[in-house]
Amino acid sequence: MSREEEIGKAVKAYLDEGTAEMRSGVAYRLQQARAAALARVAEPASASEGLLQHAHGLAGLGGSAKGPRGERPFLLQPRVWLGILLLAAAMFGYQQWTAWQELEELEDLDAQILTSDLPIDAYVDRGFQQWLTTGKFED
């Protein structure tokens, strides 16, 4: 038995002793974590894909090659465009709604001005506005 194997066995015995006293919940979580880590190791292609996407920012913008798991590039996926179109439609709808609101407010304001006690001239005569503001009436 080599020296490394001896050390391995000693460590295993030590770890076994520790895990025997471990609570079942902790053991379960460790088991889950191990399974997840093994699953990632089993898929090296997806890990490298992630790195590539990170490096290229919006990967999928160019090229038509499918991803390693046979997926289409991000921007060629119909559901992505559906989302984009829905968002664009929502923005357009909001713009239209805002414009209608503005038109209605303008209508309301103009109706108030037309029926106000003061004539239109009073609102556009800058001399009157100045006189009203300074309050000077020296005659």
* 27 vs 82 by CB, closer to other proteins: 82
Q: How far is CA 99 from CA 89, 95, 111, in A?
A: 15, 6, 18
Which of the stretches 14-22, 24-32, 39-47, 118-126 binds other proteins when contact is defined by CB under 8 A?
Answer: 118-126
State the distance between the two ends of the chain, measured CA to CA, in whole angstroms.
Answer: 121
x-or-dash pattern for other proteins, window 73-112, by CB under 8 A?
-xx----x--xxxxxxxxxx--xx-xxx-xxx-xx-xxxx
Binding residue (CB under 8 A) for other proteins from 57, 64, 65, 69: 57
Among the listed residues 46, 59, 67, 72, the single contact to other proteins using CB under 8 A = 59
Three-state secondary-structure class, residue 90: helix
Close Cβ partners of 47 (under 8 Å, ≥ 6 residues apart)? 40
With binding defined as CB under 8 A, does residue 136 bind other proteins? yes
